[in-house]
Chain A
Amino acid sequence: MGAILKAIEYVYPKQKITNSDLSVQFPDYDFSKFEEKVGIKNRYWVQDGETALDLAIEACEKLFNKIDKSSIDFILYCTQSPEYFLPTTACILQNKLELKKNVGALDFNLGCSGFAYGVGLAKALIKSGQAKNVLLVTAETYSKYLHPNDRSNRAIFGDAAAATLISFSEEEQIGDFIFGTDGSGYDKLIVKNGCSRFPFDANANEIIYGTNNVFTDNHLYMNGPEVFNFTNEVIPDFTKEVLAKNNISIENVDQFVFHQANAFMLHFMRKRLKVDKEKFYIDLEDGGNTVSCTIPIALKNYSQKHVFENQKVVIVGFGVGLSWSGGLIEINNKL
């Protein structure tokens, strides 16, 4: 007995921001180079009053067109954009979706490593007999954390939500998942103010970083070069560990679906791992870096665009924390 990833649906907010929209605000910057290297053409941001939970509800309702929602007995909700400090957003989601009350529901706070974590946790809940149908939701609105003049991060990050159903299966379709953590890099990608350690500061100073990018400690800060270095130093070897753990060689993997952080970085890792282009998914043109949503969005699009049976797919997420996770899944139908 085991678990199977059965279906995925995702949504973007309605507000689409193209590179030409951004170049109106940042006329001195050459977005064509950005588009070519980083691979993003547009991203979607929520508008005022719209939250990650709103997106999550929409994604789940889309999923419920295909599956019976009364079968769901556990909600795993991955976000760093919760509705409130408390209560747990997953509890609100249970009510909004009118799910039965004898379900487990919890939030977990992870970013780009969140989806692979969620699949590993869902599998464990199912294999230990604690759940049969896990609704894994990733929902993120980093746009709310971005400074209006933070050109780099505004170009990279987009909002989205994805809903994934992972169910009990007679045959195991989800392989082994492994995890990694290095909290010494906690400040490489951080929203410093507004939580317990540092309160929101209405007079926070504007700080200039990189090339004329602006943020304050109330906003999201990312040390791009250091995150890039961490990824290149840790993730190729980690991917090899994922392969070893699952007793599979690179040649026998049908597709690598990494967190879609940045096309240049993905190409760079692909070359280091010596994986063919056709077997390494890179597509973030439409949507950008949607944090924990990039992998389910990629899996959904990949399964829709290809005809296949029994695909062995390695997923790897990495980022804020610093945190990383990965594993093998088998997909034998369109998601």
Chain B
Amino acid sequence: MKKSVFLSKLQEELEFETELTETTSIKDLEEWDSMGAMVLIGFVSDEFGIMLNAEDIKSITTINSLIERIGLDKFI
């Protein structure tokens, strides 16, 4: 998946008003909450077949770190 597509799909799924970039610290956004975490887990599972666990959610900082967790090989 193209990183730009990933960013816009994720933003749409989360229904965030803030535009997401690779360096956005997603959990620092005011819009982030546990429902966002739930939506993120669902999105990543649907798109990549990867289940993020609670530890993953804790350790994710920027969108880039999320992309690394999913696997750089999944992106072009």
Tell me which of A225, A233, A268, A271 contacts B34 (CB under 8 A): A225
Residue numbers in B under 8 Å from A210 (CB-CB): 33-34
Tell me which of A211, A232, A262 contacts B41 (CB under 8 A): A232
Chain B contact patch, size range = 10 to 19
Known A33-B15, A225-B37: A233·B42 in contact at CB below 8 Å: no
Tell me which of B32, B35, B41, B46 contacts A38 (CB under 8 A): B35
Residue numbers in A under 8 Å from B42 (CB-CB): 264, 268
Mark A21-37 against chain B: 1 for CB-CB distance below 8 A, else 0: 00000000000011001
A268 to B46, CA, bound (A): 9
A301 CB within 8 Å of chain B:
no
Please tell me if the beta carbons of B41 and A37 are within 8 angstroms of each other in the complex. Answer: no
A265 CB within 8 Å of chain B:
yes
B67 CB within 8 Å of chain A:
no
Residue numbers in B under 8 Å from A262 (CB-CB): 38
Residue of A with least CB distance to B32: A211
Residues A206-251 near B (CB distance < 8 A)? 210-211, 223-226, 228-229, 232-233
A262 to B73, CA, bound (A): 33
Q: List 10 additional A-B contacts (Cβ < 8 Å) besides A210-B34, A225-B38, A268-B42.
A: A34-B35, A211-B33, A225-B41, A228-B38, A233-B53, A262-B38, A264-B35, A264-B39, A265-B38, A272-B45
Chain A contact patch, size range = 20 to 34
B5 CB within 8 Å of chain A:
no
Helix, strand, loop or mixed for chain A's interface? helix
Residue numbers in B under 8 Å from A211 (CB-CB): 32-34
Known A33-B15, A210-B33, A211-B34: A229·B39 in contact at CB below 8 Å: no
Residue numbers in B under 8 Å from A271 (CB-CB): 46
A152 CB within 8 Å of chain B:
yes
A33 to B51, CA, bound (A): 23
B1 CB within 8 Å of chain A:
no
Mark B46-72 against chain A: 1 for CB-CB distance below 8 A, else 0: 100001011001000000000000000
6 smallest beta-carbon distances between A and B, as pairs: A211-B33, A224-B34, A226-B54, A225-B37, A210-B34, A268-B42
Residue of B with least CB distance to A33: B15
